[in-house]
Chains A and B, each alone.
Chain A
């Protein structure tokens, strides 16, 4: 039975991946842009899900790291560097800054931590806006080139969508591996009970900093893809509301679930687009939908599924128990 479930899951996963590859082939420019944006935001949300969902550290700065990655990529590629080099710089830079941002988490927790990261987010925005010698200030950076991957130009929307999708696949595999490694288990130990984790010999200090650094590095990856996707960046998309949006994606999808960010980003990026036919009302409906969902299931979409599965499992278990009991009785 569980074997069948596993096969079904794998088949479903393969079908979704195939659909993501094949269906957009005849999408128009805008549809491909939105879908690419979904892939990019999913990467950023996966980073935040590591920090928040697995390691339990609240961060309101993920948008700032997307900004850092985006500016690193934009500045380097407009100066003639290839995107992979810029990607490495974006990762190293966000990792290092994320590491430093983790230090407050060693002292304060929960809402205090949220506010420190919120302040960092605003500071980063001010730097993007004001240091115009580096970032172009409010005029931003335009004509960001798209890369050549293995000799293929990705200037057109469809090839670049595959770049985003491929990156998402690589990041997903890496995160999948990470949360099953001892590190991932240490992160979860940190979330569930820091004191016990420490007494069991988990270096909570190092893992807290790591949770921030790795999560932020994924934000940087997303940013490095975002810049060539839009081909023009200015400070506005990287203000606090992006951080809040990403946090919303993680919670709405289901914090601490591997697939949570995929669904959360889908709701945050695609749902407003699907609601466009309601014209001026679409963001209002979106806001109401998020609130209703959270009232219904505070653990997000996957929380609903999780509860349903748990219920079914207990039902199945009690059914088995009943059968075993009746057998015992007949044997007597």
Chain B
């Protein structure tokens, strides 16, 4: 049974990263109907920003801060002001296509300005194992889980406990009424974009030591985050978290018990089944907003 335990832990660790990315994805959808096809590339880029900062001599901790700040400026502020704002009123599809083009642009820019090869990335957690319940567990998995859980708990507290969080939720659920009762809706939307940028930078820092920094690594990750978001519930933060963990575990179990060739098929089939029989997602509510 030790293998099953290992698989579960590894699955939860990758699932926690998927969850971070999926939460950001649903936040953008909720507040501004943005389906971000570049979300995977958003995760890929911050690692390169951090590597670049280290390249010019910054120590690792400073590089992380610079990387996170730069991503918030580029992937949060600039993304919203330059691409989302001008296109928002023209409907979901053109904006989605524009983010596809953005994904190509980011990938090519990284390939051109950094490297087409995979580069190693330092881990914030030391390598090695600790023993939990008689099983050796990689410290890295534990570290990833802890950071991801902290981030998610922090975000949930922000959304449910603070006035700022309530204003954000109001802006997402009913912008018109929110505006009437004095919520600065525009600023709230900008805030969700900044939070998304922060989350993807965090995910980038956690996942890159495992899978290396490569310009194309966003494709798989972006898809996993989509699936997680939909499976869990497109309009629910906790749905996205559950979906992320579920997809992470499912993916790892499928690799071990189904076949390595068709491991990618399992989450896809799961996705199709969920959409057909429970389109609002496992934890989501039926969409209340009229389209």
Contacts and interface: CB of A to CB of B under 8 A. Distances in A.
A284 B105 contact: yes
A116 interface: yes
B177 interface: no
Contacts of A290: 97-98, 101
B97 A286 contact: no
B279 A281 contact: no
A286 B226 contact: no
Interface stretch (B63-71, B83-91, B180-188): B83-91
B105 A115 contact: no
B264 A126 contact: yes
A248 interface: yes
Contact of B104 (A114, A280, A283): A283
A116 B166 CA distance: 33
Interface in B223-273: 223, 226-227, 230, 234, 261-262, 264-265, 268-269, 271-272
A295 B219 CA distance: 24
A169 interface: no
Contacts of A108: 275-276, 279
Contacts of A244: 37, 100
A291 B105 contact: yes
A107 interface: yes
A112 B230 contact: yes
Interface string A114-141: 1110111011001001100000000000
A112 B94 contact: no
Nearest to B280: A112
Contacts of A284: 105, 108-109, 112
B4 interface: no
Contact of A119 (B95, B261, B268): B268
A291 B272 CA distance: 30
A208 to B, nearest CB: 15
A298 interface: yes
A196 B291 CA distance: 16
B90 A298 contact: yes
B10 to A, nearest CB: 22
A107 B279 contact: yes
Interface in A271-325: 280-281, 283-284, 286-288, 290-291, 294-295, 298-299
Nearest to A131: B261
Nearest to A109: B291
A291 B84 CA distance: 11
B35 interface: yes
A63 B291 CA distance: 28
A104 B274 CA distance: 11
Interface in B36-88: 37, 83, 86-87
Q: Is the interface of A mostly helix, strand, loop or mixed?
A: helix
Interface residues of B, number: 41
A252 B279 CA distance: 29
Nearest to B106: A287
A244 B100 CA distance: 8
Contact of A295 (B98, B100, B226, B265): B98
A116 to B, nearest CB: 5
B92 interface: yes
B275 A116 contact: yes
A247 B276 CA distance: 23
A110 interface: yes
Nearest to B111: A280
Given A295-B83, A295-B87, A119 B271 contact: yes
Which of A110, A115, A247 neighbours the largest number of chain B CB atoms within 10 Å of its CB? A115
A291 B102 contact: yes
A108 B207 CA distance: 33
Contact of B92 (A104, A110, A299): A110
A58 interface: yes
Contact of B101 (A107, A111, A281, A291): A291
Given A244-B37, A295-B83, A298-B87, A251 B97 contact: yes
Contacts of A111: 35, 92, 234
B124 interface: no
B93 interface: yes
Given A126-B264, A299-B90, 13 more contacts: A107-B279, A108-B276, A114-B96, A120-B272, A122-B264, A251-B94, A283-B108, A287-B101, A291-B101, A291-B105, A294-B95, A294-B98, A298-B90
14 contacts: A104-B276, A107-B279, A116-B272, A122-B264, A123-B268, A123-B269, A126-B261, A255-B93, A284-B105, A290-B101, A291-B83, A294-B94, A295-B87, A299-B94
